[in-house]
Amino acid sequence: MAAGRLNYAVIVMSLAQGIMANLRGSASNVNVTSNSTLLLEKAQTETITGHIYCDNYFEFYFNGELIAKDPITFTPHNAVKVTFQYSGTGPKVYAILCQDFATPSGYEYTASRKPQLGDGALIAEFSDGTVTSSDWKSYVVTHGPTDASIAAGCGRRNLEACKIQTNAIPANWYSTSFDDSSWVAATQYSEDEAGWGKPPRYSNGRCGTVTNPYTKEKTGETIATTAEECLRPRDVMCGGDEYCEGSEGRFIWGTDLERDNQMLFRYTV
């Protein structure tokens, strides 16, 4: 009986050791699989950098995530450097809101002796080769003054007669799942048509000089920014020679450079 009990104990112990060994092997396989997945994801992740210049203000989204907002809403005309991550899987969806300053009349400098229609423009270039062009989709949010109000007497000497048209911003327009098939192609403009604007000056964490959008007077004020948010557009865009050629970015906007005031743009890679 003693010998039988001993043999039984040996068998149980052997079975237990076998089970433990199998469990250790399974855990090891799980760790190897998890580590491999993490390494693969890390290898696929891409860091993308770029520069964006919008006359006057922009908000930039990538794959539905807000990446950057322009810290300057009017002047000086600054370019901003952006850096963000792409997971390496799925589409790349670039989405930019761009706003040219305008009062409810569609004019700027309305408190000066010479109110005028401003002109908007957007140009962007990214390290993955994505650049703005007429391949981007566009949507007009605000437009004005309208043809009807101009026909009714709207003009810089009769701003009260001026009206603008506002189209609702579509929900989640910047998301990867948004359907932009009804949007139209962006209109492409030359550097001479769009212009590089009033260049900024950066010093001690401040960007200037600010111009009053109503009076057109230089205020002498500056705005707190980083150095990468106060770049001269003509220095960092299109190879720094002021001319956009070949694979470089192009200025884009709506069909009316002066009266399209707020725009949405999308591009999917």
Q: Residue 41 has what pLDDT?
A: 52
What count of other Cβ atoms lies within 10 Å of the Cβ of residue 85? 13
Residues 121 and 154 in one domain: yes
Euclidean distance between CA atoms 108 and 117, whole angstroms: 6
Q: Residue 42 has what pLDDT?
A: 58
Give the pLDDT means over successive 10-residue stretches in the chain (269 positions). Answer: 42 45 47 51 84 97 98 96 96 98 96 95 98 98 98 97 97 98 98 94 96 94 97 97 95 98 98
CB of 126 closer than 8 Å to CB of 96: no
Q: What residue numbers bound the domain in which 62 lies?
A: 45-268
Residues 10 and 56 in one domain: no
For residue 193, the surrounding DSSP H or E stretch is: helix 191-194
Q: Residue 157 has what pLDDT?
A: 95
Residues 116 and 239 in one domain: yes
Residues 54 and 38 in one domain: no
Name residue, tokens 């949010």: 141
Extract the tokens encoding 36.
């491999």
Euclidean distance between CA atoms 99 and 223, whole angstroms: 18
Inter-residue long-range contacts of 242-247, CB under 8 Å, 24+ positions, other chains counted: 242/191, 242/196, 243/191, 244/123, 244/191, 247/129, 247/131
Euclidean distance between CA atoms 142 and 169, whole angstroms: 10
Q: Residue 35 has what pLDDT?
A: 59
DSSP state for residue 108 in the 8-state scheme = B
Residues 189 and 245 in one domain: yes
Whether cis (ω within 30° of 0) applies to the bond prior to 56 is: yes
Q: Residue 17 has what pLDDT?
A: 54
Residues 94 and 127 in one domain: yes
Residues 33 and 53 in one domain: no
User: Edge-to-edge strand order for the sheet containing 121-126?
Assistant: 79-86, 46-55, 121-126, 251-253, 187-189
Residues 22 and 68 in one domain: no
* Residue of 168, 165, 166, 118 lying closest to 145 (CA atoms): 165
Give me the torsion for CA of 31, 32, 33, 36, rounded to 10°.
120
Euclidean distance between CA atoms 193 and 257, whole angstroms: 9
Q: Residue 1 has what pLDDT?
A: 43
Structurally, the chain folds into a number of domains equal to 2
Residues 178 and 228 in one domain: yes
Residues 49 and 19 in one domain: no
Residues 94 and 163 in one domain: yes
Over the stretch 123-140, which tens digit does the pLDDT of each residue have? 999 999 999 999 999 999
Residues 224 and 126 in one domain: yes
Question: pTM for the whole thing?
Answer: 0.84
Which stretches within the chain are classed as H helix? Answer: 2-44, 147-151, 191-194, 233-236
